[in-house]
Every structure is written in C-alpha cells, then in structure tokens.
Structure 1
Amino acid sequence: MTKAIKLLTALPHHQRERLMTLAREVYFPEDTRIFESGGHADRFWVIRSGAVSLDQPLNEVQRITVAGLGAGDLLGWSWLFPPYEWDFGALAFSQVRAYEFDAATVLRLCEADTALGLSLVRCVAEVLAHRLEMTRGQLMEQYAMRRGFVV
C-alpha cells in the first residue's frame, strides 16, 4: 500500500507558505458533527491534532464509519469538484484542532498562481487515490471474512 500523503508537507515550502496565509485555526469539541453527507462543501481542513471519523449514512438513524483521519490529514475534498456537496459526513472523534480554509478564497489563489493550483490538485488527487486504495483493501478484507477466506 502507498503511504498516506499529508497535504501541507507535500506542497513545496513557498506554496505551503502562500496557502497558509489563508488558514484559520479552528477547534471542534469531541462528538461535534463537522459536516453532513450531501451538505454544501465550501471549505476544507488540515487536521493539526485529534481524530475525525468519516461516515456514510445507511439509513435515517444508522451510519457506518468508512475512514479515520488524524494529524496532518486533509479533511474534505468535495469543495474542489461539482456539485460541491460532501460525499461523507465527518464527526470529531476526539477534540480536534485544525486549519480551516475557505474554498472560494483558495480557488481564487489557485487561479492567480497556477503552479500552486496544479500542486494542490495533484496533492488532493494523491489523497483520493490513497483513500480509495485503503477502502478497496477494507472491502476485500470484509468480503474475505464473510466468505470464510483467510486474510
């Protein structure tokens, strides 16, 4: 498996510095719902400390956790792709400190600095590819366990 990419450390220093001028430090208490699946995606976060669970609703009362995120991880990519709606929900599993970025402001910066824009899109694509690989592995494990295969 590939190693998880950390957005801020993956960007070249000068691009990271430019992006960080747009960061706002935020705090989420434990058990805070950060966003809901299907909601409007207009921001993203880089987790500084704590843990976040990504979940998918099964029905009106049940959710299934699909991933856990921690320090350095990107929280939210739906702000980059139409229709700009969250694909998952996010819950602060513990107290979370994060850098928050307004999507419209970041997109304007990326249009003005196309090299930064390309680097950011590449980093987000690597994050997506890694998470897809992790999810595929989890699904294969669950399938194998249900069918009685040795994993």
Structure 2
Amino acid sequence: MTEGFLSSLPPTLRGWLLGFAHDTAFPGDIRLFEEGSAADRFWLVRTGLIALDVHIPGRGAIVVETIGDGELLGWSWLFEPYQWHLGALTRTAVQAYEFDAPQVRAAMDEDPAAGLALFRAIGDQVIGRRLRSARTRLLDLYGPDTSRAYESGPAR
C-alpha cells in the first residue's frame, strides 16, 4: 500500500501499528458492524469498497460515505462508550489489516508518544476529513440554492 492513512504515518509509527495487525478478507455484501454495536476492532482497507450507513426510521440504511483502498475504517473504538456511530457493509470483496481495538488502546496507554501520534493522525487523516466531507454533503443538500437567487429580481 503506497497511499492512504498508513503511508501518512512516520515509518516508526507505521511499524508500531502494523505490529498489532492481522490480515483479513471479506466477500462483498457482508455487514461488518451495525450502528450502536460494540466498536472492538478497526481496519485498514488494502483493497475494496465499504459503505458507511446510518439507519433512518422508515427509510432503512442510508449510505453516507464509501471508503476504499488505503483508508481507515472505524474510529469509534477510540472514544467511550466504544460503540459504532454508523454501520458498515462491504460493497466489493475487501482485503484489510484488522486490529483488536482494546489491544491497541492498551498499547497507546503504555507508549504515550506513539499513542498521541496515532491519535493525532486519526484525528487529522480520518475524523477531520470525514467531518469536512459531511459538511460539504450537508451544504449540497440543505444550503441555499444560489441558482434561483436572482429569479425575483434585485432586492429592494
């Protein structure tokens, strides 16, 4: 993997994190986790696509983002009560590194410098990017329709 979250880490932190990884694979159309369930693991996607969704009463699961090669799946494991805020469904076959979240949290506590560096990387590369993306989607959906701003003529 030459791009994405893993490549954004300094080599020592990358090696430290990969020390907790094991390879895993999933076929397409597999539910990895449900909104509200225990966030006890996370993944670094090597190949494939995963849809993140939210359950809307009366409408079912609505996809809010799709992640793929090089991206980190999951950050709810970092924050109590360690429950997923979204659901995840594989869209294609997926190959990934899987991490045991309690093990990584314990290692972050044991090595505060590595823990802080990982936390900052997740904050910047994952949480920050997803929040910016969500903001853009919300503006697209609910922002002012500037194409009709001048239909009724100039303001008086």
TM-score in terms of structure 2 length: 0.87
Aligned match for 1:26, one of 13, 20, 24? 24
Aligned match for 1:59, one of 51, 57, 60? 57
The CA deviation string for residues 37-65 of structure 1, in whole angstroms up to 9 with x for no partner, is: 00000110000000000000002661111
Q: How does 1:119-138 map to 2 (within 5 A)?
A: 119-126=117-124, 127-138=126-137
Write the distance in 2 (CA, Å) between the matches of 1:18 and 1:75.
18
Write the distance in 1 (CA, Å) between the matches of 2:77 and 2:6.
17
Give the match's secondary structure for 1:134.
helix
Write the distance in 2 (CA, Å) between the matches of 1:90 and 1:60.
19
Larger radius of gyration: 2
Q: How does 1:28-43 map to 2 (within 5 A)?
A: 28-43=26-41
The CA deviation string for residues 8-54 of structure 1, in whole angstroms up to 9 with x for no partner, is: 11221011111111101111110000000000001100000000000
Write the distance in 2 (CA, Å) between the matches of 1:108 and 1:133.
29
Q: How many angstroms does 1:132 deviate by?
A: 0.5
The CA deviation string for residues 83-141 of structure 1, in whole angstroms up to 9 with x for no partner, is: 10000000001101110000111112112221110111001111111101111101111
Q: How does 1:75-90 map to 2 (within 5 A)?
A: 75-90=73-88
Write the distance in 1 (CA, Å) between the matches of 2:135 and 2:123.
16
Give the match's secondary structure for 2:113.
helix
Identical residues among aligned pairs (%): 42
TM-score in terms of structure 1 length: 0.90
The runs of 4+ residues in structure 1 deviating greater than 4 Å are none
Q: Which residue is 1:99 aligned to?
A: 97
Q: How many angstroms does 1:7 deviate by?
A: 2.6
Q: Aligned-pair RMSD on alpha carbons?
A: 1.5
Give the match's secondary structure for 1:117.
helix
Structure 2: gaps spanning 5 or more residues: 148-156
